[in-house]
C-alpha cells in the first residue's frame, strides 16, 4: 500500500515524520507542499488536509493529519518499527502520550511564537511582532527548563527515562531544531543554559544517523538568506 | 489497585475523566484539588503532578497527568471499557488521536482564552482582558465551525463518523460546556449558530446519562455567583 507524505522540510513536524520513516525503513513518496508558495492553500491539498497544514499523509485510501497522530499511526501500522519508538507497554505508552500532550501548549507554542515572529515573518515579508517574539521566547525557555528538570530527569539519555528514543524525542527535538533558523547569538542565548538539552539533541541525532542531519541540511542555507534579509530590513 | 483522581469539577478535563470513569463503572477515589484555594500549588500536590495542574491520576504507584493521556490510559488499563471509547482498530484510533491533537491548539485554546478572560478572572479578582477574551471567542467560534463542517461531517451522531461516543467526544463536549459559566446571552451568541453542535452535546449527554448532568450540576450555582460579581464590578 502506497504511503505519501505531504511535507515541507521547513516545518518541524514534517521533519520528524521524514526522519521516523527513514530510520525505520518505511518506504514513502515525499510530496513537497511548498509553504513559501502557499501550496498548502491549493484546492488539491485541501482534499488531503482540509485544515491546510503540513504534515499530512495518505496511506492507500486513508488520510491523516496532526503530526503526533501520524507518528503513532505509522508506528502501529508498519510492523517493522521497533517497540521503543512507541512502546506496547501501557505505562510506558501513557508517559509518551503525556509528554506529547504537554508539548502542544508548552515547547511547541513557545517555539512557534518565537520563530514565527523573528525568522518566518521576515521571510514572508510580514511586519515583525517583538512582543509576541518575547512571549514565545519566555515560554520556550520555561519549557526547555521543564524538559531538563522533569522530562529528562535521571540518567537515561531519552525522555521519560527511556534508554532508546521514542516518537516524543523526535517530535520535541525537531521542534528545538527550529532554532537553526535563528542567529547563532539567539540560539546561544536560548539553548546555551541547557547543557542537558544539548546532549539530548546529540543523542537523538546519533540514534537516527544519518537521516537526522540529512533532513535538517536545508536549514543552514535558509538561515543565511534570513541573515541577509535582516541586514536589508535594518537598512530601511 | 487503587485509582485516585485529583480533580476540580470547575476544570473541563477533570469533568471528562470523572464522567468517563462513572460511565464505564471504573471505581475511583475523587480527591478534590480546590483551584480557588490554590491547592494545586501545594507541595503535596506537586508530588502528584509537578506541573501543578488538574486533572492528574495515581493508579497504584503509577502517576499520570495530561487529560487525553489519562483517558487513553484508563481505556487501555481497565478491561471493562467498551471498544467505542478508544477503538482498537488502527485507523479508527488514528482519527481519535487526530481530533484530540487538533483540539489542543484550536477549541481548547480558544475556550480557555475566552472563559478565563471573562468568568474566571472575575472570580479570582484579576483584571479582565477584553482583547484576550475577544481573541479567545474568535478562535472558539472558528473551532466550532470546523467541528460542525468537518469533524461531525455526515449523518453519524459522534465525531469522525462514529455511531457511539469516544474519548474525543467527551473531551471536546466538556470543553464546550465551559460556556455554562458565561451569561445566557454570551452562550447564545457563541453556540446559537451551531445547531449541529447543540445536538451533539445532547447526544453525548444522553450516552453518558445520568453522569453527565451529575458532574456538571455544580456549574449553574457558580454562574449565578459570577453574575453577582459582574453586577458588583460594573458598579465600581
- What is the largest distance, in Å, between two alpha-carbon atoms of chain A? 58
Confirm if A198 and A145 have CB atoms less than 8 A apart: no
Residues of B in contact with A72 (CB under 8 A): 94, 97
What average pLDDT does the segment A64-77 reach? Answer: 98
- Reference B14, options B24, B4, B1; nearest CA is B4
Q: Residue for cell digits 459570577?
A: B226
What distance in Å separates the CA atoms of residue A70 and residue A76, rounded to the nearest whole number?
10
pLDDT in tens, B123-133: 777 887 899 99
Domain B85-235 fold is Glutathione S-transferase Yfyf (Class Pi); Chain A, domain 2 (1.20.1050)
Task: Among A56, A69, A145, A153, pick the best mutation site for testing chain B contact (most B Cβ within 10 A).
Answer: A69
Contact A45, A39 (CB under 8 A): yes
Which residues of chain A approach chain B closer than 8 Å at the C-beta? Answer: 50-51, 62, 64-70, 72-73, 76-77, 90-91, 93-95, 97-98, 100-102, 104-105, 109, 146, 150
Q: Exposure of A181 by Cβ count < 10 A (0-12 exposed, 13-18 middle, 19+ buried)?
A: buried
* pLDDT at res. A230: 82
CATH 3.40.30.10 domain span(s) along chain B: 3-81
Cβ-Cβ contacts under 8 Å, A62 against chain B: 91, 94
> Does A235 have pLDDT greater than 90?
no
| Distance, CA of B163 to CA of B79 (rounded, Å) | 21
* Assigned fold of A3-81: Glutaredoxin (3.40.30)
> Any idea what DSSP says for residue B11?
S
State whether A50 and B77 contact (CB < 8 Å): no
> For A110-124, A127-141, B104-118, B180-194, which range has the lowest pLDDT when averaged over its residues?
A110-124
User: Looking at the partner chain, which of B50, B94, B98 has a beta carbon nearest the beta carbon of A150?
Assistant: B50
| Rg (chain A; Cα; Å) | 18
In this structure, whether the domain defined by A87-235 belongs to CATH 3.40.605.10 is answered with no
Read off the C-alpha cell for B124: 479570582
β-strands A29-32, B3-7 pairing? unpaired
Residues of chain B with Cβ-Cβ distance to A93 below 8 Å are 76
> Residues of chain B whose pLDDT is less than 70?
none
For residue range B156-194, list pLDDT tens digits in order: 999 999 999 999 999 999 999 999 999 899 999 999 999
The pLDDT of residue B187:
95
**ipTM above 0.85 for this complex:** yes
From chain A, the residues in CB contact with B69 under 8 A are 94, 97-98, 100-101
Do the Cβ atoms of B112 and B136 come closer than 8 Å? yes
Task: Specify the domain boundaries for CATH 1.20.1050.10 within chain A.
Answer: 87-235
- Across the interface, whether the CB atoms of A64 and B94 are under 8 A apart is answered yes
Give ranges for CATH 1.20.1050.10 in chain B: 85-235
Task: Count A/B contacts: CB-CB distance under 8 Å.
Answer: 70
Q: Is residue B54 within 8 Å of residue B33, measured between CB atoms?
A: yes
Residue from the list A66, A91, A94 with its beta carbon closest to the beta carbon of B102:
A66
**Distance (Å) from the alpha carbon of A186 to chain B's nearest alpha carbon:** 26
CB A77 within 8 A of CB A27: no
Amino acid at each position: 500500500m502506497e504511503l505519501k507524505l505531504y511535507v515541507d522540510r521547513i516545518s518541524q513536524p514534517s521533519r520528524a515524520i521524514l526522519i521516523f520513516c527513514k530510520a525505520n525503513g518505511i518506504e514513502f513518496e515525499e510530496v513537497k507542499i511548498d509553504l513559501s508558495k502557499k501550496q498548502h492553500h491549493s484546492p488539491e491539498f485541501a482534499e488531503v488536509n482540509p485544515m491546510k497544514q503540513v504534515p499530512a499523509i495518505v496511506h492507500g485510501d486513508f488520510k491523516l493529519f496532526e503530526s503526533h497522530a501520524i507518528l503513532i499511526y505509522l508506528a502501529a501500522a508498519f510492523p517493522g518499527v521497533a517497540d521503543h519508538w512507541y512502546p506496547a507497554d501501557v505505562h510506558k505508552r501513557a508517559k509518551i502520550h503525556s509528554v506529547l500532550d504537554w508539548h502542544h501548549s508548552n515547547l511547541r507554542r513557545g517555539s512557534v511564537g518565537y520563530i514565527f515572529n523573528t525568522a518566518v515573518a521576515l521571510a514572508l515579508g510580514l511586519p515583525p511582532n517583538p512582543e509576541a517574539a518575547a512571549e514565545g521566547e519566555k515560554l520556550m525557555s520555561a519549557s526547555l527548563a521543564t524538559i531538563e528538570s522533569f522530562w529528562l530527569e535521571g540518567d537515561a539519555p531519552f525522555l521519560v527515562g527511556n534508554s532508546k528514543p521514542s516518537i516524543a524525542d523526535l517530535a520535541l527535538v525537531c521542534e528545538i531544531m527550529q532554532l537553526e533558523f535563528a542567529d547563532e547569538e539567539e540560539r546561544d542565548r536560548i539553548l546555551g543554559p541547557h547543557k542537558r538539552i544539548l546532549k539530548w539533541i546529540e543523542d537523538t541525532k546519533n540514534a537516527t544517523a544519518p537521516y537526522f542531519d540529512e533532513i535538517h541540511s536545508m536549514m543552514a542555507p535558509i538561515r543565511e538568506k534570513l541573515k541577509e534579509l535582516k541586514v536589508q530590513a535594518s537598512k530601511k
